[in-house]
Chain A
């Protein structure tokens, strides 16, 4: 009765193997590495960059252990810190010719020392939280009211233009908070206006009132539109933050949405809060200007002749010079959206731009006067301008127009992103910040690790002393639980924080609960005179319901913490919940497997090594059975 079928053992072996593989990278520690990432939104790190880096290193006589390329960053691992520092300088010289305008960020980082075959299995070590590795942590609040106010303002100006275009006379448009109020002189124009709004502004809902001789229309942004707007604003702010933080040369920044209107920014390894704040708060601006197509301008563009008066020279993304007039037509403020798409006629990738009413009017005027001339779109970051694109005007432009021709799909989506990144969608402020020094981080790891280790050892000693062989089985199950917990956290690439380590320690305590339940029950069955095999069977069977009940109640608390907790509490809750689930496998299924493997084959089992089974006798004397 205490035998597992082969498939159950197979499951155990597979789970153990997978767990071991994924838990393994955590034990190799970290090696010094050099990380290359794009410092500008217009530069990409790809295979070509890898070749350049490898060649540069080879020329300098440095051989990295491992070079990896993943989502936008290239990492080269070295054996010693000396090599790492040398390599950083070599790569820096090769990739960044001009230090005042770096296209790439070359940063020092730590990379897991785990062998290549583990990395190729996507087995990575757990990601350490800031409290364990040191760094800066910001919580930014996005001013959603500001975003909606801004949108209402742009609706107000759009309405003004539309009414003028459609010759609805005598209207007054004003923004009042997040609503737009329009007054009319007669009912007929109000009706026309209402129809117009329904037709052209699907995001607005209207109510009208009449007082005296005035007809008043109040347009409000629909709740679902407002929600979409907030969502878009948050996403765009996150994108912009990404681009800015890339410049900071942080190896692995974390930028995440938290709740509806907050963004968490974590910059591991950064100690200079002031600089980080300055970069987070910086704005990139977008400008549209005409290209100088006078004879002098062309000469300057083609042969490097002096730039004519009233124009400036900028480089485009390919490094070619473009001579642009100094007069700014439109800035990023007037650009409401930019989206990549496909031109239906030519089937070529394009970018659709949407301007607000003012921008649209300027575009129309400019395009009429400058038909077939080129207009440049420039992005300014850190006071340095760069030409994103300089297409020629092929028709009359308005609120909406497109940039197309000679772009790949990826280029189109890049361009749209860059145009959108021109300004933050909604203002942000820092509401919480935390700096953890690197020594404090290392301290925390050591302390956390010690508390888990000593706690584990103490329980193991106690279990083996109290429950003998069954205690040893329980201890092995506990070790398996810990391994699975680490493996799952590594698989999920969850961030391990100090409260997470505390949850790991607590998970040991909670997991052993199940084994105590089982062992006590087995003892009790033996005490009541059951045969060893029957006692094992009944013990496991009957304890299961209780284990399930108690784990479910603990899990309820864990989920509540996960749902309502933030920051450190969340880190605790994730590990706590996973620990409960893994403990069900290790403490019940796995430990039973061990017991079955050891005792299951023995048909004439006389005794079980589970410590003292003490029987009270009816007459009050006791019999102690120590086998």
Chain B
């Protein structure tokens, strides 16, 4: 089996401008939704109480909401959780009432409507935890970005490091944009997925840049654009296959993992799809705009021999 029967190099960079404009537009749109709508943060960030209640028959969300609203909670979210028999109720923290009293009161109200209601789980978060999570999340993001930049600048060159990180941050913002647009719940698990995607999709850019360096060394007459086109073309089958196989597992989580892993898998899916796009079309293009040259990557005197430069070349990168 071979999915990719590519006869010649595909001129990706010819469309670089258009692709970059598309990326920029998506990016701007994501930012707009992020600021305009904001993220629908989970209770871990905002503080409050989340109760999971199970019924014997399909639960009537409307009735549940009515029962809870009657208790004097103005902004209460009631939604199905996993199956139609499970309901998740999210309550804001209420002054002068402990979480126990709160949940007991709600359960009583629910039981009076339908006696089969049973509490499956409850989670209470104080407000001080949320602020800390947000700041830790930002710190973690900063550490990933800086760490990857340093590593790539050391392994390749700063122009590659910068374009890789820009391309992948673009992915992150787009994932967040999706979450803002659809108002999907942004939980700690989603945050973990976002950061994992950041580390994972950098791989693609690394593979492509490895090949770019190799090509610069091998085909001494090619222009920068041709070198980049050739590198992307020859790695595209690998990019799609690896991402596709990772996506298989993510889909398995999406379908079988239940509600807790639902948004986690969703964030990974968006991240993986845009990861392919951005590492093929965005990262290399940015590097091109930044003016990557043969001399940036191949230091020291030019190698006489065509092809392999031998094992003692300190810049000998990996090839795929």
Contact = CB atoms under 8 A, between A and B. Distances in A.
Interface of A: 131, 139, 141, 273-274, 277, 430-437, 439-440, 443-444, 447-448, 450-452, 454-456, 458-459, 462-463, 465-466, 498-499, 502, 505-506, 508-510, 512-513, 516-517, 520-521, 524, 542-550, 552-561, 563-569, 572-573, 576, 611-614, 616, 620, 622, 624
A115 to B, nearest CB: 31
Contacts of B196: 506, 554, 557-558, 561, 572, 576
Interface in B243-265: 244-253, 255-258, 260-261, 264-265
Given A506-B268, A512-B242, A520-B320, A568 B139 contact: no
Given A459-B249, A502-B253, A563-B140, A516 B151 contact: no
A565 B124 contact: no
B260 A498 contact: yes
The dominant DSSP class at the A interface is: helix
A440 to B, nearest CB: 5
Given A273-B122, A448-B257, A554 B200 contact: yes
B122 A434 contact: yes
Contacts of A505: 249-250, 252-253, 257
Contacts of B261: 447-448, 451, 498, 502
Interface stretch (B175-183, B187-195, B280-288): B187-195
Interface in B164-210: 188-189, 191-192, 195-196, 198-200, 202-203, 206-207, 210
Contacts of A565: 136, 140, 188, 192
B314 to A, nearest CB: 13
Nearest to A521: B320
B257 A553 contact: no
A141 B128 contact: yes
Interface in B128-146: 128-129, 133, 136-137, 139-141, 143-144
Contact of A557 (B133, B136, B199): B199
Contacts of A557: 144, 147-148, 195-196, 198-200
A31 B237 CA distance: 49
Contacts, number: 251
10 contacts: A432-B126, A432-B129, A455-B249, A459-B249, A498-B261, A546-B207, A553-B152, A564-B143, A565-B188, A569-B189
B318 A516 contact: no
- Name the 3 nearest CB pairs between A and B, nearest first: A545-B318, A557-B199, A509-B246
A22 to B, nearest CB: 24
Contact of A447 (B54, B151, B200, B257): B257
Contacts of A613: 2
A524 B241 CA distance: 15
Interface string B210-251: 100000000000000000000000100110011011111111
Contacts of A451: 249, 252-253, 255-257, 261
A421 B143 CA distance: 41
Given A444-B258, A459-B249, A543-B320, 9 more contacts: A273-B100, A432-B124, A451-B249, A462-B244, A502-B261, A510-B200, A516-B241, A549-B318, A611-B1
A542 B206 contact: no
Contacts of A131: 260
A265 B174 CA distance: 37
Given A498-B261, A560-B140, A459 B206 contact: no
B252 A454 contact: yes
Contacts of B238: 516-517, 520
B97 interface: no
A330 to B, nearest CB: 34
Nearest to B247: A509
B20 interface: no
Contacts of B255: 451, 454
A517 B207 contact: yes
B65 interface: no
Contact of A546 (B8, B121, B210, B247): B210
B22 interface: no
Nearest to B252: A455
B237 to A, nearest CB: 6
A513 B258 contact: no
The dominant DSSP class at the B interface is: helix
Contact of B320 (A430, A459, A542, A576): A542
Given A466-B1, A505-B252, A554-B200, A440 B121 contact: yes
Contact of A561 (B140, B203, B237, B260): B140
Contacts of A431: 125-126, 128-129
A573 B189 CA distance: 11
Given A509-B248, A512-B245, A545-B317, A499 B192 contact: yes
A509 B99 contact: no
A277 to B, nearest CB: 7
Contact of A556 (B52, B148, B265): B148
Contact of B189 (A462, A542, A552, A568): A568
B158 to A, nearest CB: 16
B143 A563 contact: yes
A430 B129 CA distance: 11
Nearest to B260: A498
Interface of B: 1-2, 5-8, 44, 52, 54, 99-100, 119-126, 128-129, 133, 136-137, 139-141, 143-144, 147-148, 151-152, 155, 188-189, 191-192, 195-196, 198-200, 202-203, 206-207, 210, 234, 237-238, 241-242, 244-253, 255-258, 260-261, 264-265, 268, 317-320
Contacts of A498: 260-261
Contacts of B121: 434-437, 440
Nearest to A614: B2
Contacts of A517: 207, 238, 242, 320
Given A448-B257, A502-B261, A553 B140 contact: no
Contact of A612 (B2, B7, B147): B2
Nearest to B211: A546
Contacts of A513: 203, 242, 245-246
B187 to A, nearest CB: 8
B198 to A, nearest CB: 6
A483 to B, nearest CB: 17
Contacts of A549: 155, 203, 206, 210, 318
Contacts of B7: 616, 620, 622
B12 to A, nearest CB: 18
B320 A499 contact: no
B24 to A, nearest CB: 24
B141 to A, nearest CB: 8
A592 to B, nearest CB: 16
B136 to A, nearest CB: 4
Nearest to B4: A614
A556 B199 CA distance: 7
Of A436, A463, A513, A553, most B-chain CB atoms within 10 Å: A553
Contacts of A465: 1
A550 to B, nearest CB: 4
Contacts of A443: 258
Nearest to A508: B249
A317 B198 CA distance: 59
A553 B151 contact: yes
Contact of B123 (A434, A466, A547): A434
Contact of A552 (B100, B133, B151): B151
A551 to B, nearest CB: 8
Contact of A542 (B54, B141, B318): B318
A520 B237 contact: yes
Contacts of A277: 100
B252 A550 contact: no
Contacts of A499: 189, 192, 264
A436 B260 CA distance: 13
A510 B206 CA distance: 15
B264 A502 contact: yes
A398 B320 CA distance: 78
Nearest to A621: B7
A567 B198 contact: no
